[in-house]
Structure 1
Amino acid sequence: MVAREELMHVLWPSVVVVDDSINQCVVEVRRALDDGGRQLLQTVPRRGLRLSADLAELPCWPVHTTSAPAAMAVDSLDQAWEALRSLAGVEAVADARRRFESEYMLGRRRVEALNGIALSHVIDVLNRWSASPQWQVGIAREASKEALRLSPRNALAHHARAHVAMLEGFHFEAWAGFRRAVELEPRLAHAHLRMAIIQLELGNAHSARPHIAQALACSRSPKLEAQAQFVRGMVDFHVGREQDSSTHFRAALELNPAAGLAHQWLAVIEALQGREELARQHLEAFGRLSGAHSCASLKATERSRNPVFWQQRTRFYEGLRRAGLPA
């Protein structure tokens, strides 16, 4: 039997977390163990948690490792970052997060591991993969805050913290964070792209284009280009250039076939132009890649309250409705 307070002290010794953090971890452990009947990991009311299973002691690396495990740790983090960059799907991001968490718990390259943990949660929320977006944003906030405490001039830590502010709807705080990130690391292409999205959400779609160009000037990786094409598509849609936006979304899919959100926007455009069968096909692809959604669930994830943004966004939701997405 382990008390919840003891678990929280061991798992998050220097971070204040909400009680729901343990609940979410328990859900994930039960899912991993296929413990739907709650026979292995048992909750004992007012006492704590108990693992009811045969246990065996296994050898593990100490925190101060030899050179061989240290080299393996570098490979592990490199593989984790590659998984995040690939945006190959929710399982790839979850695997990357486990690698980052393992390295953090072993005390190696902690700032880098914290940045990876934060951004893995951000990616889940941005791609509509998260079943508990508020919880994941909270974890990303804690991880990025701790990374900045350990390394105040770390560009990626500012980048991660700015993502959190953006997801929370604090656009100007996010803008300042991304600006600080590119001051410290001018070639941080994704920060430039996020600044373009902030301009869009503040109702300044035309001002987003220079930031997209800056992002592409910093990097020409296929995944970055796919994201840039996607943002271009959103910008063109918001200013009424639907044909151009369709071209950009298709280019995004050519560069990254797993880009579920590009299918979502193509479903909107096809529906608005009366091509119902194509709209249905894209909506089905969006569902396969990004999970089940409704118009209401998507609206709940919108961060902007800007009237210009919403005047432009209304047509997007009309297209989703025509494509067949439930209200």
Structure 2
Amino acid sequence: MLWAERIKSERHDLASLRQRVTATVANSLQIRLAEVESSRSRQLPTADLEARDLALQAWSRGQLVRTPQVVVEQRELAQRAIARDANSALAWAALARSYIWDVSHRYLPLRGVTREQWLDRAIEAADRAYNLDANDPRVINARAFALALRGRSEEALSLYERAIGLNRNDALAWFGISYSHATLGHTKDAIAAGHEAIRLNPRDANIGGFFVVMAAAHLYAGNDAQAVEWARRSALEKPDFSVAYSWLVSAAALSGDTATAQSALATFRRLLPQYTVTSFRAEKLCANALCESQRERYYEGLRKAGLPE
């Protein structure tokens, strides 16, 4: 395996350079090992190689693209794997992730279900996975994010800390820590963890999500200019990520940038025409009263820009 990536650093900052190189190699190897594992599964003398291969396909599906159809395909692959091997922790974790992606990307209207229904299924599948293998970082991350989306962020943080204990360079776990802290109103901790996630894996398939949480944490803290920049980066990274535009709408409106707010609002309403301020409030993303009080600024900005109540 040849290494071709370049990492720039000042000569005097060798300690930081060493840390960055180690983290970059670790994350790249993690992706490569998943590919190798998928290849090896076809050669191992297991009872059902197809089940293992389906589980690996389900987990990797949606890594780069998470359209509504891709999420459905991930769910179907996971369900096929489980039908062949109900003890596949990875298949249960992949199934949980398919429900998580539907919730986080606001695909629920396409499924004709409620947020609560899909989160119940996500947590049920994630718990099954965790009971089967509590030492797989993929399983831990899936369960932690499902809990965080349900508002059980303290529990999620404990799981993410366990994931970090297994792999200090797990960018997805650092993102989860950032998200969980944001839902608890811990803006400084959310921003610090978000920077760590981005530093570890600036090419993560979910980097737009990393940027959105950074925008949210800055807006909660009253740093509207920074919130605008992070939301704008998220929208540029993934132009069809509707929620990024809502943060750009709110932050721009609060900072007095009417033109940006109106442009972002037009895009947001095209992507999620049924959403209102009440729709966002009904999601109940905060885990405590501190976050809820901070989140009022988000709703204030949305109203100021003209999103219907």
- Bin of the TM-score, shorter chain as denominator length: 0.7 to 0.9
The change in CA–CA distance for 1:222 and 1:304 in structure 2 (over 3 A counts) is closer
Structure 1 length-normalised TM: 0.71
The answer (yes or no) to whether the contact 1:103–1:109 under 8 Å persists in 2 is: no
The structure having more radius of gyration, on CA atoms, is 1
What residue number does 1:135 align with? 117
Question: Partner amino acid for 1:259?
Answer: F
The question of 1:92 aligning with 2:70 is answered: yes
The question of 1:249 aligning with 2:241 is answered: no
What residue number does 2:23 align with? none
* Cα shift at 1:277: 5.4
Structure 2 length-normalised TM: 0.75
Give the alignment of 1:130-209 within 5 angstroms. Answer: 130=108, 131-209=113-191
Partners of 1:96 and 1:288 in 2: CA distance: 26
The question of 1:111 aligning with 2:89 is answered: yes
Partners of 1:93 and 1:283 in 2: CA distance: 26
Partners of 1:301 and 1:138 in 2: CA distance: 14
SS of 2:240's partner is coil
What residue number does 1:34 align with? none
**Relative contact order higher in (CA < 8 Å, ≥ 6 apart):** 2
The change in CA–CA distance for 1:267 and 1:107 in structure 2 (over 3 A counts) is same
* Cα shift at 1:70: 4.3
Question: Partner amino acid for 1:235?
Answer: A
Sequence identity (%): 24
Question: Partner amino acid for 1:206?
Answer: K
* Cα shift at 1:101: 1.2
Q: Tell me which of 251, 263, 267 is aligned to 1:281.
A: 263
Give the alignment of 1:252-271 within 5 angstroms. Answer: 252-271=234-253
The unaligned stretches of length 5 or more in structure 2 are 1-44
The change in CA–CA distance for 1:81 and 1:253 in structure 2 (over 3 A counts) is farther
* Cα shift at 1:262: 0.9
The answer (yes or no) to whether the contact 1:89–1:258 under 8 Å persists in 2 is: no
Q: Tell me which of 125, 132, 137 is aligned to 2:103.
A: 125
* Cα shift at 1:176: 0.8
RMSD: 2.8
Partners of 2:254 and 2:273 in 1: CA distance: 23
Q: Pick the structure with more helix per residue.
A: 2
